Chain A
Amino acid sequence: MALMQNLTKLLISRIDEYLDAISEGMIVFQQGLLDYLENRMTDFEERMAMVGQYESRADKLRREIENQLYSHSLIPEMRGDVLGLLEHLDNIIDVAKETLTQFSIEVPDIPMELCADFSDLTVSTVQAGEELVSAVRAFFRELSRVKDHVHKVYFFEKETDRIASNLKMKIFRRDMDLSRKMHLRDVATNVAKISDEAENVADRLSIYTIKRTI
Chain B
Amino acid sequence: MLLFFLSSGLFLGWSLGANDAANVFGTAVGSRMIRFKTAAIICGVFVIIGAVIGGNGTSETLGKLGAISALGGAFTVALSAALSIFVMVRLKLPVSTSQAIVGAIIGWNFFANNPTDTSILIKIVGTWVVCPIIAGIIAAILFILVRFLVNRSRLHLLQQDQLTRYGLIIVGAFGAYSLGANNIANVVGVFIPSSPLHSLVFPLIGTFSGKQQLFLIGGISIAIGVATYSRGVMETVGSSVVKLSPLAALIVVMAEATVLFIFASQGLNTFLTANGLPPIPLVPISSSQAAIGALVGIGLVRGGGKGICYSLLGKISLGWIATPILASIITFIALFFMQNVFNQTVIAPKTETIQIQSHTTEPMEMDRQIQNKKISVFYFHENLHQAVQGNYSLSMGQIVTNSFNHFMHVKRLDEKALYPGLIGLLKGCCVGDTG
Chain A residues with CB under 8 Å of chain B are 1, 4-5, 8, 11-12, 15, 73-78, 82, 139-144, 212, 214
Q: With the chains together, A78 CA to B33 CA distance in Å?
A: 11
| Interchain Cβ contacts under 8 Å between A and B, 17 examples | A5-B162, A8-B162, A12-B158, A12-B159, A15-B158, A75-B161, A77-B246, A78-B157, A82-B157, A139-B157, A141-B156, A142-B154, A212-B245, A214-B146, A214-B147, A214-B150, A214-B245
B248 and A214 within 8 A (CB) = yes
Apart from A12-B158, A78-B157, A78-B161, 14 more pairs, CB < 8 Å = A4-B165, A8-B158, A8-B162, A76-B32, A77-B33, A141-B154, A141-B155, A141-B156, A143-B151, A144-B151, A212-B245, A214-B143, A214-B150, A214-B245
* Chain B contact residue count (CB 8 A cutoff): 22
Q: B157: which of A5, A76, A140 is its contact (CB, 8 Å)?
A: A140
Pairwise interchain contact B155-A75, C-beta atoms closer than 8 A: no
Flag if A77 contacts B162 (CB, 8 Å). no
Query: Is B389 interfacial (CB-CB < 8 Å)?
Result: no
Residue-wise, chain B 223-264 has the 8 Å CB interface mask toward A (1 for contact) of 000000000000000000000011110000000000000000
**Set of chain A residues within 8 Å of B147, measured between Cβ atoms:** 214
- B33 contact set on A, CB distance < 8 A: 76-77
Residues of B within 8 A of A (CB): 31-33, 143, 146-147, 150-151, 154-159, 161-162, 165-166, 245-248
Tell me how far the C-beta of A149 lies from the nearest C-beta in chain B, rounded to whole angstroms: 15
A77 and B245 contact, Cβ closer than 8 Å, known pairs A8-B162, A144-B151, A214-B150: yes
Q: A144-B151, A214-B245, A214-B247 are in contact. Are A75 and B146 (CB under 8 A)?
A: no
- CB nearest to A1 among chain B residues: B166
Identify A77's interface contact among B31, B150, B155, B156, CB under 8 A.
Answer: B31
Cα distance A144–B150 in the bound complex, in angstroms: 10
A75-B31 CB under 8 A given contacts A214-B143, A214-B150, A214-B248 = no
Question: Which chain A positions have C-beta within 8 A of B32?
Answer: 73, 76
Determine the chain A residues whose CB is within 8 A of the CB of B158 once the complex forms.
Answer: 8, 11-12, 15, 74-75, 140
Determine the chain A residues whose CB is within 8 A of the CB of B156 once the complex forms: 12, 140-141
Contact among A74, A139, A141 with B161 in the assembled complex (CB-CB below 8 Å): A74
**Smallest CB separation, B166 vs chain A (Å):** 8
> B248 — which chain A residues lie within 8 A by C-beta?
214
A78 to B161, CA, bound (A): 10
CB contacts (< 8 Å) of A75 on chain B: these are 157-158, 161
- Residues on B with beta carbons closer than 8 Å to the beta carbon of A139: 157
Residues of chain A within 8 A (CB-CB) of B166 are: 1
Compute how far the CA of A51 lies from the CA of B417 in the bound complex, rounded to whole angstroms. 96
Chain A residues, CB < 8 A from B159: 8, 12
